[in-house]
């Protein structure tokens, strides 16, 4: 619909490009993915506001700006093989799908994962595959990845995800207690050498799983 096309371009100009995101792949992808199809139907009119929005299962679709910042930080390029942990609505996976060669997205809530998978089919994102499971373990059978993005905050960087990066691969993940999370970028330079950078304060829902938090908020083993 022309109205949503106008709002989407305005969102990219005002909320994303003007705030410093320069990666042309990210800007073009976000001008193309219809975020109004990834929110709860009654929220469609708010799809291009500068905020996260509630989705099913008490989760959220991330703020568009933070999606852009994370994908830019992960330096996703055409042909890349990408893992997204925390598929949620599927929006970020769809944006990644417009840039990368292949996207594997994993979600722990089955209902959310199924809905995201249906959206990929309906909107024609044939290179995006949504799986159900604990993303803190990654997807070892699909590794190595050029980039891994995690859309939920864990107590530390999961070892499994570091190990599933290819050499030169980039992992972007929020780390820390609720209310005190920072966005962390890990680059794998060799089999054993990883570099970590702090990209600033962020707010995300908790990463629940074997190498994340437990449901009761305690750190998992």
Q: Which helix (H) or strand (E) holds 104?
A: strand 102-107
Q: Please report whether residue 60 would count as binding ligand SAM according to CB under 6 A.
A: yes
Give buried/exposed letters for 65-89 (b at 16+ CB in 10 A, else e): bbbbbbbbbbbbeeebbbbbbbbbb
Under the criterion CB under 6 A, does residue 72 sit at the interface with ligand SAM?
no
Q: Which two tokens mark 57?
A: 């299962």
Residue 45 C-beta: closest distance to ligand SAM, Å: 18
Catalytic residue list contains 190: no
Residue 158 is a binding residue for ligand SAM (CB under 6 A): no
CA proximity to 205, closest of 34, 30, 36, 55: 55
Q: Token pair for residue 133?
A: 């499971």
The residue assigned the tokens 């499971």 is 133
Q: Which two tokens stand for residue 162?
A: 């570091």
Number of residues that bind ligand SAM (CB under 6 A): 27
Crossing angle, helix 64-73 and helix 91-99, to 10 degrees? 40
Q: Select the residue interacting with ligand SAM from 73, 100, 183, 208 (CB under 6 A).
A: 208
Site residues for ligand SAM, 97-126, by CB under 6 A, read: 106-109, 112
Does position 85 bind ligand SAM by CB under 6 A?
A: yes
Q: How far is CA 73 from CA 68, 131, 209, in A?
A: 8, 24, 24
User: How far is it, in rounded angstroms, from Cα 215 to Cα 80?
Assistant: 33
Which range binds ligand SAM by CB under 6 A, 4-12, 74-82, 131-139, 176-184? 131-139
Which one of residues 89, 103, 125, 183 is an interface residue with ligand SAM (CB under 6 A)? 89
86 forms part of the interface with ligand SAM (CB under 6 A): yes
- Given 51, 62, 89, 190, which residue is catalytic? 62
Interface residues with ligand SAM (CB under 6 A) are 59-62, 85-89, 91-92, 106-109, 112, 134-136, 151-152, 204-205, 207-209, 212
So which residues are the catalytic ones?
62
């Amino acid at each position: 619909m022309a109205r949503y096309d106008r709002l989407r371009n305005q969102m990219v100009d005002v909320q994303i490009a003007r705030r410093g995101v320069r990666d042309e792949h990210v800007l073009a992808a976000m001008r193309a993915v219809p975020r109004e199809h990834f929110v709860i139907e009654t929220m469609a009119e708010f799809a291009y506001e500068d905020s996260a929005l509630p989705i099913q299962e008490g989760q959220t679709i991330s703020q568009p700006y933070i999606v852009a910042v994370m994908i830019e930080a992960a330096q996703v390029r055409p042909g890349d093989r990408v893992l997204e942990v925390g598929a949620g609505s599927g929006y970020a996976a769809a944006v990644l799908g417009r840039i990368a060669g292949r996207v594997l997205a994993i979600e722990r809530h089955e209902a959310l994962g199924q809905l995201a998978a249906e959206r990929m089919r309906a909107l024609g994102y044939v290179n995006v595959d949504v799986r159900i499971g604990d993303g803190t373990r990654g997807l070892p059978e699909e590794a190595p990845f050029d980039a891994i993005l995690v859309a939920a905050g864990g107590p530390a960087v999961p070892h499994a995800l570091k190990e599933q990066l290819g050499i030169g691969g980039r992992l972007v993940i929020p780390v820390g207690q609720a209310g005190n999370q920072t966005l962390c970028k890990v680059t794998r330079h060799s089999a054993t050498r990883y570099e970590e950078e702090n990209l600033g304060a962020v707010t995300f829902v908790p990463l629940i799983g074997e190498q994340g938090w437990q449901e009761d908020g305690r750190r998992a083993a």
